[in-house]
Structure 1
Amino acid sequence: MEIKYEWWEYFMIPWVAGFVGYVTNVLALEMTFYPLEFRGIEIFRIKNEPWGLFGWQGIIPTKAEKMASTCFDLFTQKLFSIEEIFSRLDPVRFSQVMEDSVLLLMDKVINQVAEEHMPSLWNKIPKEVKDDIIVTADTENAAFLAGFMKDMQEHVMDVVNIKHLAVTACVENKDLIVKVFQECGEKEFVFIRQSGFYFGFAFGVIQMGVWFFYDASWILPTAGFIVGWFTNYLALKCIFRPLHPRKFMGYTIHGIFLQRQAEVSEVFARVIMTEILHVKAIWDAIFMGPLSVNFNAMLRAHTLVFVEKLVAEIKPLAIAAMGADRFARMKEDIAQKVIENLPTIIDNSYEYTQEALNMEETVRIRMQKLTPAEFEGVLHPAFEEDEIQLILLGGILGAIVGVIQLYAVFATG
């Protein structure tokens, strides 16, 4: 049989195939996460798809809303409920933490509103009477804050939407959801890159044999596609399968990601709680989220009762001077200003709230206790349906390298 090429040209095939496997896996991973926004000329693009006629956006950033939504549905179903978490706050302790700042706020607001609505009367009121208002505020403050916090705990689902908070954060800052996947799957991604070479080399040995006997021009691009396809496919399958440990020829095989359940749980809890569901983000969602109108109504109701007690001593004089309707409007203004200014002092509660909610430790411990199937279900379903795009991307990149190999190495054959 006539040998058409030099021995080294055949010898190169497995190494090139290994290189193809490695490069396609590396590129597929990079194109999974980047760019965060679409790059190119967006002449035509199907909604929620990473590719356009001339351009690309990372698969995970493209699917940020859908992935975050799926992930946090499973997250709240399996790891914690917001009712349980908020029940850990002690209303009395919360009132103690916020007491001083609320007193200062009420003093400022009452003086400001009184100056606006009844400047003459307010300036004539003796200092002792004004001081009595502050003393009353000091006395009633604890009951006001504790009662408000208890009411909020009982209706927490009416005032904060954790899923909306998480999904919005991931959509507006796509690097957050990228960070979740990258940090949780850091070691798996190293495996994907390295396994691309080993799987590719193995396929390349077969490819070399085929090319030795049959060197049609379509062989190398086709083989490149197959190598790119299967190296990505096998790498992804090795991460999550087998679901349970199995013995094979004396070795225990188990999905690489699943083997690291304890470590991944710790990383996942840390990233989620420090980057997305931290205390400031939760309070911001309460103050400005889609359910903020409910929170404001609740706060207004409690504040009006509180204010009624504070101004009880001057109420007869105030009504006589300004009328009942205007006095009622003044109380409404006080409540409104409390609502507007509470976000400026709520940071005084962050340390206690963080400690009391203890969300990071809760998520870590419960995630570590999940069964393999439940553990996989927290993260894998978020991008499982898009794995085919990663695999196909590897195949396309492999075919391109196959064409280059055909003309660069064997063009003189």
Structure 2
Amino acid sequence: MVATWGVGEYEWYLYIVMPFMSGLVGWGTNKLALEMTFLPIEYFGVEWFRMHEQPWGLFGWQGIIPTKAGKMASICAKLMTEKLFDIKEIFTRLQPEKMYEVMEDGLLLMIDQIFDEVANDYMPGTWKRLPTGVKNEAVLTAQRACPEFLTGFIADMQENIHNILDIEEMCVSACIKNKRLVNQIFLECGDKEFTFIRRSGFYFGFLFGVVQTCIWLVYAGNWVLPLCGFIVGWFTNYLALKVIFRPLNPIGCGPFEIQGLFLKRQKEVSETFARINCNQLLSTEKIWQAILTGPNRKNFQLLLRNHSLVFTEKLIGGLAPIARTALGVEKFALMKEDIATKVILELPNIIDMSYEYTTEALDMETTIREKMQSLSPAEFEGVLHPAFEEDEMTLIMVGGVLGMMVGVIQIFIFSYV
């Protein structure tokens, strides 16, 4: 079939359609490359051979971000702890007296229960025979010791927060367990950039398609379409990624200012980043869970034990002479140890009473947002770029290979038209 206007070997409308097909190739390869960045969450395929922290296997694929969830979380955590906040300064915002105020009811109830339980376990007869006034005075003495115990413990926690809370481990552990969370951080922070990548694939692809059409008019060899398809897929991904992060600093161009699309949205992205991280990773509940169950929990337990032992001496107060007489020295020591152990075990159960105040006092979302908005462009780039930087060539090559495959399909289509 010869073109009616005398150029090329195919019908004239195929030459008009070709740029649009190239645009669709660019759009499709960019879209698929993005999908492969985030999906599947877990490895899909037969994992016969796969290098560590690589998304591809011999027969399968895992999204690049989920593959490196721990590494990405570590980058985010380091950004926050090195550039956005000092966890020790954050915790100094807590007022120990206010902490006691919001936990007072739960603490007093806890102490009453422990006091009554231990007294009945170790000296039931003696405790029952004691006059009501003596019992009440013993309980009041225990209650009066509570403010000093809790405020002293919170102040000591603030001073030693780096020994009892590992922010980086906390974030990495959470993201490895919930890889969707890492995807959420990048997808929401880079929502507009990812939309641009998808759409720009068509625009860039169309422009390359015009060039491809000109080549096809001159030489319609079978290798042209796969080669052009590879170039379209490769360049559309390459240009889309570069336009997002480059130029790093604003460059004046007449009445216009040119800068990477992501970098232009620093204020907006900072708000999103702070909100997601404080809701999903750095919430008060998750911080306390990390303190109570994380790798540094033994340091926390030791700190609490030291305060609990001192607290126990004051809890017993005027009851000590009676208890020593009734129990003897060794059993009295066991009773004190039991009280301290119960305080250590029960105190975490009432920590949730402080969540609302702690969240308000720490105000981490505001701190992260404001500090992030003040970062230099080079520092701010580190929020999202690490998701692509190491694997940019992988994404670009994926686009190229997909484009080449489409080019091969085009050959078969053209051969039947």
Normalised TM-score (structure 1): 0.96
* Residue from 324, 328, 331 that aligns with 1:323: 328
Q: Which moved more, 1:194-203 or 1:396-405?
A: 396-405
Q: Conserved in 1, the CA contact under 8 Å of 2:115 and 2:139?
A: no
* Residue from 236, 251, 255 that aligns with 1:246: 251
Q: 1:137: Cα distance to partner?
A: 2.6
Where do 1:374-389 residues align within 5 Å?
A: 374-389=379-394
- Does residue 112 (structure 1) correspond to residue 123 (structure 2)? The answer is no
Match in the other structure for 1:280: 285
Where do 1:219-368 residues align within 5 Å?
A: 219-248=224-253, 250-368=255-373
- Does residue 171 (structure 1) correspond to residue 176 (structure 2)? The answer is yes
Q: 1:249: Cα distance to partner?
A: 5.3
Q: Conserved in 1, the CA contact under 8 Å of 2:142 and 2:315?
A: yes
Q: 1:43: Cα distance to partner?
A: 2.0
* Residue from 404, 408, 412 that aligns with 1:399: 404
Where do 1:85-164 residues align within 5 Å?
A: 85-164=90-169
- Does residue 188 (structure 1) correspond to residue 193 (structure 2)? The answer is yes
Letter in 2 for 1:11: I
CA distance, structure 2, for counterparts of residue 112 and residue 350 of structure 1: 28
* 1:1-58 CA distance string (max 9 Å, x none): 7621111112222111100110111111111111111122222221211112222111
- Does residue 56 (structure 1) correspond to residue 38 (structure 2)? The answer is no
Q: 1:118: Cα distance to partner?
A: 2.8
The structure-2 alpha-carbon separation of the partners of 1:103 and 1:58, relative to structure 1 and needing over 3 Å to count, comes to: same
* 1:245-267 CA distance string (max 9 Å, x none): 11235432111111111110000
Letter in 1 for 2:111: M
Letter in 2 for 1:104: L
Partner of 2:9, secondary structure, is coil
Q: Conserved in 2, the CA contact under 8 Å of 1:103 and 1:138?
A: yes
Where do 1:60-99 residues align within 5 Å?
A: 60-99=65-104
- Does residue 5 (structure 1) correspond to residue 10 (structure 2)? The answer is yes
Q: 1:127: Cα distance to partner?
A: 2.8
CA distance, structure 2, for counterparts of residue 2 and residue 380 of structure 1: 46
Q: Conserved in 2, the CA contact under 8 Å of 1:68 and 1:382?
A: no
Q: Which moved more, 1:13-22 or 1:375-384?
A: 375-384
Q: Conserved in 2, the CA contact under 8 Å of 1:75 and 1:378?
A: no
* 1:99-120 CA distance string (max 9 Å, x none): 1111111111222233333333
* 1:352-386 CA distance string (max 9 Å, x none): 10111000001111111112112112332354212
Q: Which moved more, 1:216-225 or 1:152-161?
A: 216-225
Letter in 1 for 2:330: D
CA distance, structure 1, for counterparts of residue 210 and residue 296 of structure 2: 61
Q: Conserved in 1, the CA contact under 8 Å of 2:76 and 2:383?
A: yes
Partner of 1:378, secondary structure, is coil
Letter in 2 for 1:411: S
Partner of 2:48, secondary structure, is strand
CA distance, structure 2, for counterparts of residue 239 and residue 131 of structure 1: 70
CA distance, structure 2, for counterparts of residue 65 and residue 364 of structure 1: 23
Match in the other structure for 2:415: 411
CA distance, structure 1, for counterparts of residue 115 and residue 393 of structure 2: 63
CA distance, structure 1, for counterparts of residue 334 and residue 209 of structure 2: 82
* Residue from 19, 24, 36 that aligns with 2:24: 19
CA distance, structure 2, for counterparts of residue 218 and residue 55 of structure 1: 28
Number of matched pairs? 412
Q: Conserved in 2, the CA contact under 8 Å of 1:180 and 1:268?
A: yes
Q: Conserved in 1, the CA contact under 8 Å of 2:8 and 2:218?
A: no
CA distance, structure 1, for counterparts of residue 126 and residue 80 of structure 2: 57
Q: Conserved in 2, the CA contact under 8 Å of 1:67 and 1:383?
A: no
CA distance, structure 1, for counterparts of residue 366 and residue 214 of structure 2: 55
Q: Conserved in 1, the CA contact under 8 Å of 2:164 and 2:296?
A: yes
Q: 1:310: Cα distance to partner?
A: 1.3
Q: Conserved in 2, the CA contact under 8 Å of 1:269 and 1:360?
A: yes
Q: Which moved more, 1:321-330 or 1:394-403?
A: 321-330
Point out where structure 1 has 5 or more consecutive residues left out of the alignment: none
Match in the other structure for 2:3: none
CA distance, structure 1, for counterparts of residue 403 and residue 123 of structure 2: 79
Q: Conserved in 1, the CA contact under 8 Å of 2:175 and 2:181?
A: yes
CA distance, structure 1, for counterparts of residue 392 and residue 122 of structure 2: 64
What RMSD in Å do the two structures reach over aligned CA positions? 1.5
Q: Conserved in 1, the CA contact under 8 Å of 2:8 and 2:216?
A: no
CA distance, structure 2, for counterparts of residue 128 and residue 307 of structure 1: 21
CA distance, structure 2, for counterparts of residue 372 and residue 402 of structure 1: 39
* 1:139-192 CA distance string (max 9 Å, x none): 221111111111110110011111111111111011111110011001111100
* Residue from 208, 212, 218 that aligns with 2:223: 218
Q: 1:126: Cα distance to partner?
A: 2.9
